[in-house]
Amino acid sequence: MGKTGVGVLLSRLVGLDDSAAAFSASVGKELAAVELVSDELLLTFVDGTQMAMYDDGQSCCEHRYMTTDDDLAYFVDSILLGVEVADAPSLITDYYDDNVHDVQFLKITTSKGVFTMETHNEHNGYYGGFTMRCKLRAQEG
């Protein structure tokens, strides 16, 4: 991966975040819905709680987004068991302008198997890195 952006560096230095606690509180819960909404993985549990997982490392001159090729609806009624994060190799998308496309995989393990989210960061070569966050939210609607 290329250089690390300011947003990612500050997150790593300060680390004032309750992502680990939010995820730990959700492990073992049954999923009522699994959705990709506005570049966030939104997990809704049968007990009415929700957890959003997203990349919060935004710096200047970056375009961040999340995708998946998996059928997220298949994982409804499964139990959340764990998560793994893995980096993919960086791709230079334009050798003249040093445009870089970084990808990080977010592998969610459930009782029905694993689904993979891809977090993308397209930048000019001076930024990079990912800051995956988990946040518990009140259920909407």
pLDDT digits over 76-124, tens only? 999 999 998 888 876 666 555 667 788 889 999 999 999 999 988 887 6
**How many whole angstroms separate alpha carbon 43 and alpha carbon 135?**
10
Which residues, other chains included, contact 56 with Cβ-Cβ below 8 Å and sequence gap of 6+? 7, 11, 131, 132, 133
Is the pTM of the predicted complex or chain greater than 0.85? no
Domain boundaries, the chain: 6-137
